[in-house]
């Protein structure tokens, strides 16, 4: 930077020198004003003859204005490049969602981030006109009071606050607090307060009450979802508490921090991140997934503690990544260089005993589970100014020595078989940018492993009517292993990989009807055009199919549906966000109605549509 400043000063001094009169030039003589002299004024003496003055030497030729401007611009460019280079060398532990070093000119005690969102939506025929499966389950919930109502609409909201309390430049506390989290407009009217005698009919209600768990809602109006400490040390960053977990594309580990997300992975974790080499980051993490029953009893004071260590589920995580900071990526792309980032996230999870049969907050028994999982997750991204390719692949491999899920089942040999877990999933995104980034074409591809057991496997605890609790042909969902009451299992493998619930590719089929992507593959081309700064329009086509046709409700066809999504979004510099989307789903043979028998044809499926909007403010 010093060289750039010196070059700028030299350029400016050159300009000044070019504007200064050359030495040796005779002074200019000013004639007397007013014409002839007044009477009585002696005439001026005649001027003495002066020796001839030699002609002045020609003025030295200075740089032209264009040359000076070029030097100034070159100096400015060099300054900008050196500033970028300095910023690019600053470390950042990205991939674990927090900054390596806080970039703030002045330390503020309290920083507030977050958003307010309001989401109106309308659903039309999301049950697809499909009859219930053999166990009585439908694809989409139907209103209990008016089952023939096919169009429903509503509005929900969330106010998220993410404060950072800076104790010092090295020590801080971070939190995530949600207020009125996904509260449906009109869902907590004063009319529903059963202790009030003031309102008899719904038409009389004219105000809303704060949601209170157990009174007028399933959850309270304010939820503290995350709180953790962060300490910067000379060798790395220590984090401890309840925090979000994210990796790669978010296919498997997703923190749910997007403005349209609803879930998010939150873990109780102790984590240390360090940068052993420039651009390389390594993190070790200990997650407390399940601790089992504790000594906590309602209305008692004091510190609760874990009653047993034998029923704990813990994860031991190592993540290693080569990543550029945002400044480094921007600098490379601006200079037509490529950006290559990659890493691996590995989890080992173990559980010995599993408390079951819970009542009044305490288990009525345990099962010796002796379970373990190995979860590798590999991610890579290569990006240039015109295009980007990003991929992620993961596996879940392990075993469960005892599958019993109730106290009674523990004593039944036909319900205590061992199970194996072998699941694979992958997602890829490719993007090409035209017209200097104004027009973008993106292709999403994904695969989640499955097996031939009936049902997709998103809801393994669903009670089904097959023998010994197994699923039967035509079931929409259920567990994915098949065991008999005599103690044998014709299929003791769980193979259906499940994407994270906040990794969404559509508006209707997976998001609203089937659940997380599992036992399926999909393709999704998307075209986005930037009409003006902050204003985009987009459209996409999503094709989805099951890996095995036996898993689908039809049991014979793997094609699930073709969906079209289109919309527009607008984002201002001061944080206002608005988006509207429309989707239409054309269900295919994999979701077909069963034949009613007697030679009659099965009823045709109906097309579903959805409209969803978002109004939000980010801060």
State residue 28's pLDDT score.
Answer: 43
Q: Which residues contact 46 (CB under 8 A, 6 or more apart)?
A: none
Identify each DSSP E strand in 360-386 by its residue range.
362-383
* pLDDT confidence of residue 10: 44
Tokens standing for residue 341: 């980032």
- Residue 393 is encoded by which pair of tokens? 């692949």
Pairing of strands 493-494, 419-434: parallel
Q: Where are the beta strands (DSSP E) in 245-361?
A: 266-277, 280-290, 313-322, 339-359
* pTM for the model: 0.80
Q: In this predicted structure, what is the pLDDT of residue 365? A: 82
Low-confidence ranges of the chain (pLDDT < 50): 1-57, 59-60, 85-104
pLDDT of residue 63: 61
Q: State the pLDDT at residue 510.
A: 97
pLDDT score, position 298 = 60
- What's the chain's average pLDDT? 85
Q: Is 553 left (phi over 0), alpha (psi -120 to 50) or beta?
A: alpha
Query: What is d(CA 441, CA 525) in angstroms, rounded to the nearest whole number?
Result: 7
Domains of the chain, by residue range, sit at 1-13+65-88, 89-289+316-618
* Contact (CB, 8 A) for 204 and 191: yes
* Per-residue pLDDT at 468: 84
| Calpha distance 393→375 (Å, rounded) | 11
* pLDDT reported for residue 531: 96
- Helices 2-19 and 65-88 pack at an angle, to 10 degrees, of 170
Radius of gyration (Cα) for the chain, nearest Å?
A: 35
Write down the pLDDT at residue 126: 95
DSSP assigned state of 37: P
Overall fold of domain 89-289+316-618: Porin (2.40.160)
Query: Tokens 């393709």 — which residue?
Result: 523
């Amino acid at each position: 930077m010093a060289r750039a400043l010196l070059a700028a000063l030299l350029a400016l001094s050159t300009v000044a020198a070019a504007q200064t009169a050359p030495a040796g030039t005779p002074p200019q003589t000013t004639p007397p004003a007013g014409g002839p002299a007044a009477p009585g004024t002696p005439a001026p003496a005649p001027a003495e003859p002066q020796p001839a003055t030699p002609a002045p030497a020609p003025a030295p030729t200075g740089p032209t204005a264009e040359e000076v401007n070029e030097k100034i611009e070159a100096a400015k460019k060099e300054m900008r490049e050196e500033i970028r280079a300095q910023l690019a060398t600053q470390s950042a532990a990205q991939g674990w969602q927090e900054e390596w070093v806080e970039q703030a000119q002045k330390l503020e005690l309290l920083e507030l981030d977050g958003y307010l969102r309001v989401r109106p939506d309308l659903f039309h025929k999301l049950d697809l006109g499909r009859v219930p499966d053999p166990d009585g389950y439908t694809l989409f919930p139907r209103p209990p009071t008016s089952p023939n109502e096919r169009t429903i609409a509503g509005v929900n909201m969330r106010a998220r606050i993410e404060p950072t309390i800076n104790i010092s430049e090295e020590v801080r506390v971070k939190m995530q607090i949600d207020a009125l989290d996904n509260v449906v407009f009109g869902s907590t009217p004063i009319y529903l307060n059963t202790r009030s005698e003031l309102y008899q009919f719904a038409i009389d209600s004219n105000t809303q009450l704060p949601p209170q768990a157990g009174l007028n809602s399933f959850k309270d109006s304010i939820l503290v979802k995350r709180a953790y400490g962060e300490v910067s040390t000379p060798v790395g960053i220590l984090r401890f508490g309840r925090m979000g977990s994210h990796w790669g594309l978010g296919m498997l580990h997703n923190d749910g921090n997007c403005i349209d997300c609803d879930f998010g992975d939150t873990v109780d974790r102790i984590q240390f991140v360090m940068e052993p080499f420039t651009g390389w980051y390594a993190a070790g993490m200990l997650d407390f997934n399940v601790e089992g029953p504790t000594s906590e009893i309602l209305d008692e004071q004091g510190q609760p503690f874990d009653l047993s260590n034998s029923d704990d589920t813990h994860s031991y995580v190592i993540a290693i990544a080569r990543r550029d900071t945002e400044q480094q990526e921007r600098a490379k792309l601006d200079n037509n260089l490529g950006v290559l980032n990659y890493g691996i996230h590995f989890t080992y999870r173990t559980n010995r005993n599993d408390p079951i049969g819970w009542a009044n907050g305490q288990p009525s028994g345990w099962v010796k589970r002796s379970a373990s999982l190995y979860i590798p997750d590999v991610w890579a991204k290569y990006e240039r100014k015109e295009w980007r390719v990003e991929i992620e692949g993961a596996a879940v491999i392990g075993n469960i020595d005892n599958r019993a899920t109730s106290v009674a089942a523990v004593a039944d040999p036909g319900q205590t078989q061992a199970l194996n877990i072998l699941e694979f999933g992958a997602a890829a995104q490719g993007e090409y940018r035209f017209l200097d980034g104004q027009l973008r074409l993106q292709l999403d591809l994904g695969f989640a492993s499955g097996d031939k057991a009936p049902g997709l496997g998103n809801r393994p605890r669903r009670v089904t009517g097959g023998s010994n609790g197994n699923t039967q042909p035509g079931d929409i969902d259920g567990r994915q292993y098949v065991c008999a009451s005599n103690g044998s299992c014709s299929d003791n493998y769980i193979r259906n990989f499940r994407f994270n619930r906040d990794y969404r590719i559509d508006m209707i089929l997976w998001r609203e009807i089937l659940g997380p992507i599992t036992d399926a593959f999909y393709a999704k081309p998307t075209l986005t055009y930037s009409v003006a700064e902050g204003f985009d329009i987009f459209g996409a086509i999503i094709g989805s199919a099951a890996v095995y046709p036996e898993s689908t409700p039809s049991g014979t066809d793997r094609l699930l549906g073709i969906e079209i999504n289109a919309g527009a979004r607008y984002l201002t510099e001061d944080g206002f966000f608005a988006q509207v989307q429309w989707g239409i789903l054309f269900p295919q043979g994999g979701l077909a109605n069963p034949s009613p028998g007697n030679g009659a044809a099965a009823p045709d499926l109906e097309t579903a549509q959805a409209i969803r909007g978002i109004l939000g403010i980010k801060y």
